[in-house]
Structure 1
Amino acid sequence: MSEDMKIVRWHEWDGPGIEHLELRERAGEVLADSVVICSGQTPFAVRYRIECDANWRARSVTVDMIGSGQTLVLVSDGEGHWIRDGSAVPELDGVLDPDVTVTPFTNTLPIRRLRLSTGQSADITTAFIRLPTLTVVANPQRYTCLEEGRRYLYESRASDFRRELEIDADGLVVTYPDFWQRE
């Protein structure tokens, strides 16, 4: 079985925080394994692991708060039904993508899954994972392809937050203004 492995690092836009991601793609699955060290008023570190099928639909998300012993485990059937720690999460019905607040990687999931052409937009809802609290809420978003394979507009449909994301040929974020920049 052939495996394609990439190592990607991002650093915080204005701070010492860093993320180290190993992304593996092989027949039938995509696996992201990462550690993020966040600065700020209350610095923390987190490890997350996201497993997707070959179509970039999340199948499981595990988030470990380093040092606290807190862990979140979400499992999806890939069709919009989620289980958290063994119990169904009906408020996430229809959601396909996780969105972990501290990483630009989770923007890659809808970008790769939707495969939008220049000028196309898609409204989605994500399983928004807030850290360090590990709370999960449904979060409405919109992705617009500005330039295929190069630039996307990310917008929250719940607020006025929006950022233009520069991506590489693999759909991985290169710049996320005010938050993350690729090394």
Structure 2
Amino acid sequence: MLTWRAHDLPRMESVRIQLSGNRIKANGRIVSAATPQTPAFGASYDLVTDESGATKRLSLSVTLAERERQLSIARDEENMWLVQDHTGQTSRAAFDGALDVDVVFSPFFNALPIRRTGLHRRKDSVTLPVVYVWLPDLTVEPVTIGYARTASGIKLQSPVAQTTITVDDEGFPIDYPGLATRI
């Protein structure tokens, strides 16, 4: 079980992680009070990766005061992504060849590409396409995120941050400046 608390906002994430080699099975929840940018919401997720650590499927459920919505994302054998939104509409897209999913407000999802590429164990840099999910509206889009291992941590360049995060020996974030710290 890993838990993060936002640095300066009323938000937390907690996730139960089961590891089998590079394979990850995770069940987590993000809870956020209202902020000037977002309404209060709760988001729960279930994630499964393959043997290489690449995302196979992600199910998300977001609850707001006025509604609840679900989103399902799965990668098929051809590395195409099937996205089913809250209306039941399904779309199929390559998302620029992405193998990972990232969810805004979540330190946990940064561990997926870090662990899959081994950046927590070696100095290197990678720029990767990811399937990016915005909360609480469950918008999905392709983005590119850059990761570079340095002496002080892993430099991260994403749609919402340019910072250096620290990770533990397993590649899971300890501190993500501007977002959250593990407690």
Give the equivalent residue in structure 2 for 1:139. Answer: 143
**Structure 1 counterpart of 2:17, from 18, 23, 29:** 23
Report 1:31-180 matches (<5 A).
Answer: 31-39=25-33, 40-41=35-36, 42-66=39-63, 68-77=67-76, 80-85=79-84, 87-90=90-93, 92-116=95-119, 118-147=122-151, 151-156=153-158, 161-180=161-180
Q: Is 1:57–1:96's contact at 8 Å kept on the other side of the alignment?
A: yes
Q: Is 1:79–1:96's contact at 8 Å kept on the other side of the alignment?
A: no
Q: Is 1:59–1:76's contact at 8 Å kept on the other side of the alignment?
A: yes
- The alignment partner of 1:107 has SS state of helix
The residue type paired with residue 101 of structure 1 is: V
Quote the Cα distance in structure 2 between the aligned partners of 1:154 and 1:80.
Answer: 25
Give the equivalent residue in structure 1 for 2:8. Answer: 14
TM-score normalized by the length of structure 1: 0.86
Quote the Cα distance in structure 1 between the aligned partners of 2:77 and 2:111.
Answer: 16
- The alignment partner of 1:112 has SS state of helix
Q: What is the Cα deviation at residue 36 of structure 1? A: 0.7
Q: Is 2:22–2:116's contact at 8 Å kept on the other side of the alignment?
A: no
The residue type paired with residue 79 of structure 2 is: G
- The alignment partner of 1:89 has SS state of strand
Summarize deviations over 1:67-86 as a string: whole Å, max 9, x none: 52200000013763100127
In the alignment, structure 2 segments of 5+ residues that lack a partner are none
- The alignment partner of 2:68 has SS state of coil
- The alignment partner of 1:70 has SS state of strand
Instruction: Give me the identity figure in percent.
Output: 23
CA RMSD of aligned residues (A): 2.1
Q: Which runs of 4+ in 1 moved over 4 A?
A: none
- The alignment partner of 2:79 has SS state of coil
In the alignment, structure 1 segments of 5+ residues that lack a partner are 1-6
TM-score normalized by the length of structure 2: 0.86
